[in-house]
Structure 1
Amino acid sequence: MKITIASRNPKSNKFPLELEVAGTAESIKTSQVSEALAKKFPKYYIERQRLTTEDKKVLDADKTLKEQAILENGTIYFKDLGPQIGWRTVFMIEYGGPLLIHPIFYYASQLIYGQAYEHSAMQTWTYYMVMLHFIKRELETIFVHRFSHGTMPFTNVFKNSAHYWFLSGINLAFWVYGPWFSEGKQAAIRNDVWLYGSVAVWAWAELSNLMTHITLRNLRPPGTRVRAIPYGYGFDLVSCPNYFFEFLAWTAVCFLTTSWSAFLFNIVATGQMYIWAVKKHKNYKKEFKDYPRNRTSMIPFIA
């Protein structure tokens, strides 16, 4: 079957071109077209391609051309997404920032702040909570998460990492581990209910977040893009309980530290997670006609 590949870039000197793929519109899948294009231009490996119809509708890799109204001598539009980087690698870089930054501010506090002082219980607990959170995220990235999209544009790694390296890294660490919260300072005083209550809520939220990630992982067999409706702990009320539990974990850190830097990070992170949750919630309802109607996007009974 002959297919015309046109570029979305009007300045391209490689396109349009005619690609011949073995089979018919009824049997050829979009993935086969991607493979044929990558074979002709190795620079445009499959993850770097976006194949669409003329009206910019992205073609489904697992569907045949006929299912997407592309017939003999039809035209498919190609966009170069640029150099790609694996999502797993992106997450490792993002979460690695706070794991490097917090120990520097905590253990080199005399050098950074120019004075010697003893860390308060609040500072010590916060340090371990932050470190355990991001160690958990790294381990989940390696052993739990299965990605429906394997890569993202390489340049995005800098934008994505800035959120973690600066807001939950430098900004949070500098203001929480400073001498103004050191042992003996009024601002650092926490009674046992305040201190251990915050830690307990944080631990419950982190474990709950892990459980929801495991539920999502078990929905998708290895090496597939299978999608299904998640059920179980957390999913009875919201579509994205993993985001809700993460919000609760960081809220516990906020109330333990009372630092504006923790609240800032939590507000920004929660805002982004809510945007993702709304999008996923809409996709679930669109894709599954029997999707539970009582669920909200992220926050039970509210939104």
Structure 2
Amino acid sequence: MAKMLESWIYQEPSSIYTKALYGLTLLGACYLAISEAIGKHLRYSKFWNSASNKPTQTLPSKVGMLLAYTPSLLAGVSSFWVFSDDGGIRFLMLKSAITLHFLKRELEVLFLHKFSGHMVLNTALFISSTYLTSAASMIYIQHRVQGFPEPWVDLKYVGLLVFVVGTVGNFYHHYLLSKLRDTSNKGYTIPRGGLFSLVVCPHYLFEILSFIGISFISQTLFSYLCAIGSAAVLLARSYATRNWYLSKFEDFPKNVKALIPYVF
């Protein structure tokens, strides 16, 4: 088993920081996934006002999402300057993938998504700090493994392909969602087109593929943990989203799954 892991994962210097980071990443992902599954949602999108009636400080959804993504984008951009002397195509691919991922999110917030409602400030700050910690730590750990032997199985080009497929698929289904609303209609309707005939959250499915692609490019333990944690949270949120649609629309097709076609 150890030999199999060595073939897929970088050997890396052990430190208290990385051990603590790995443990907190796993605990945080488990907490978020369980919270979403039991109905204690992060308060944005259709779930922004679902938690409680207690007064909370909110932001317009567009402002909240920009706050969530901008620090991670800046971390990706700055990595080209901070680690400019680090050579190697893998590190360049990782920095580029992380930067492009959050640049795409920013551009979608600015020019594609149509928002209704608000976003709780604490939620925006939590998402922002989580993404920033993950992006910055992934880049830093990749810097730390420079000079160590690469994994026997090289997945970086497979990862690039998976990342591109995930990014394009995520954008396409975000585009379809944006077409459901015009300037006079800011309510929710049943999504149509693309993989929406099979799953209610194909944009999450492709987002998971993007994270898997990044983890294959990196091939560090932390990148794999980030991909697994993100998948667990999005799986739970997809399940909650499907239940929300079932509760709101009597004609919602029961054969449409949450995230994985024909399976879940």
User: Normalising to structure 2: TM-score of the pair?
Assistant: 0.73
Partner residue of 1:88? 62
**SS of aligned partner of 2:195:** coil
Question: Which residue, out of 268, 284, 290, partners 2:251?
Answer: 290
- Cα distance in 1 for partners of 2:243, 2:55 equals 25
Partner residue of 2:17? none
Partner residue of 1:119? 87
Partner residue of 2:99? 131
The answer to whether 1:141 aligns with 2:109 is: yes
Question: Which residue, out of 124, 127, 131, partners 1:160?
Answer: 127
CA contact 2:199–2:257 (8 Å) conserved in 1: yes
Structure 1 residue 79 displacement after superposition: 4.7
Q: Provide, for residues 162-182 of structure 1, a one-character-per-residue CA deviation record: whole Å limited to 9, x for no partner.
A: 211112x2211111233x235
Please, what is the CA RMSD of the aligned residues? 2.5
Partner residue of 1:237? 198
Question: Which residue, out of 162, 167, 183, partners 1:222?
Answer: 183
> Unpaired segments of 5 or more residues in structure 1?
1-49, 51-56, 59-77, 111-116
The answer to whether 1:186 aligns with 2:149 is: yes
Greater share of strand: 1
- Cα distance in 2 for partners of 1:157, 1:139 equals 17
Partner residue of 1:208? 169
Number of aligned residue pairs: 216
CA contact 1:106–1:177 (8 Å) conserved in 2: no
Question: Which residue, out of 136, 139, 142, partners 1:176?
Answer: 142
Greater share of helix: 2
Q: Provide, for residues 238-280 of structure 1, a one-character-per-residue CA deviation record: whole Å limited to 9, x for no partner.
A: 1100000000111011122111221222222222222221111
Q: Which protein has greater RCO, CA pairs closer than 8 Å, 6+ apart? A: 2
**SS of aligned partner of 2:197:** coil
- Cα distance in 2 for partners of 1:120, 1:148 equals 44
CA contact 2:162–2:210 (8 Å) conserved in 1: yes
Structure 1 residue 292 displacement after superposition: 2.2
Percent of aligned pairs sharing the same letter? 22
Structure 1 residue 223 displacement after superposition: 4.9
Residue 195 to residue 265, structure 1, CA distance change in 2 (3 Å): closer
CA contact 2:190–2:252 (8 Å) conserved in 1: yes
Structure 1 residue 156 displacement after superposition: 3.0
Structure 1 residue 195 displacement after superposition: 3.2
Partner residue of 2:45? none
Which structure has the bigger radius of gyration?
Answer: 1
User: Normalising to structure 1: TM-score of the pair?
Assistant: 0.64
- Cα distance in 2 for partners of 1:128, 1:245 equals 18
- Cα distance in 2 for partners of 1:293, 1:124 equals 44
CA contact 2:76–2:96 (8 Å) conserved in 1: no
CA contact 1:119–1:177 (8 Å) conserved in 2: no
> Unpaired segments of 5 or more residues in structure 2?
1-48
- Cα distance in 1 for partners of 2:244, 2:123 equals 24
- Cα distance in 1 for partners of 2:60, 2:132 equals 19
Structure 1 residue 205 displacement after superposition: 1.3
- Cα distance in 2 for partners of 1:80, 1:170 equals 34
